[in-house]
Amino acid sequence: MYFTSLILAGGKAERLDNHEKALLLLDSTPLLKVIMDSLKTVSSEIIVSLRDESQRDLLFPLLQDSTVVFDSFKGKGPLAGIIEGFKASSHEYVFVTACDMPFVNVKVIDYLFNAAQGHDAALIRNSDGRFQSIYAFYRAKAMIPLIEKCLDEGKNFILAPVFELNDVVAVDISKIRKIDPKLKCLVNINTLQDLKKTGISIAD
């Protein structure tokens, strides 16, 4: 499938005592490698969004042949990493995930990719009506000007530009649950308690 996978890895993990999330271990393997290895089976390009050169140097052994981008908009959160990834993408559609979401489900990605075709985005809609802004597909060219506009206006949350799109496919979470019954693909690691729940450990 010809799409780009964008892995957001530039966060400082303050709720995780500032441990580098990309280096957390799942079965002794760093999360960034776990995710990249899975995404390589379905996407034709991988971009990793990092906060700065020092983080790149730290993660260099794991980056393989991926493209690395850095935030131009400082202090703007994930949206700053997303726009740089979109600008660097070689493909129309970009799958956005994060380095703290290690349980990649390629069947879910395939489903979302097909849902996005011909539209500006395909996002999972939770049972409470809220959207999953991460683990979603976006049409890069449609999003870039809207992200720039939102950042200029101080709207730094990921869904701000999504709400301005004209053609968004809402994929009900019940359809994702049929593919991934426990919704493991949507699990993310934010706290030390999350580590205990998932069996993920901190590298020595």
| Helices within 117-203 (DSSP H only) | 140-152, 159-162, 173-179, 192-198
- The pLDDT assigned to 1 comes to 67
Distance, CA of 192 to CA of 200 (rounded, Å): 10
Residue 168 parent element (H or E): strand 168-172
3-state secondary structure of 203: coil
- The pLDDT assigned to 144 comes to 97
- The pLDDT assigned to 204 comes to 67
Residues of the chain with pLDDT under 50: none
Domains of the chain: 4-197 (3.90.550.10)
- The pLDDT assigned to 17 comes to 78
- The pLDDT assigned to 199 comes to 86
| Helices within the chain (DSSP H only) | 31-39, 53-63, 78-88, 106-116, 140-152, 159-162, 173-179, 192-198
- The pLDDT assigned to 71 comes to 84
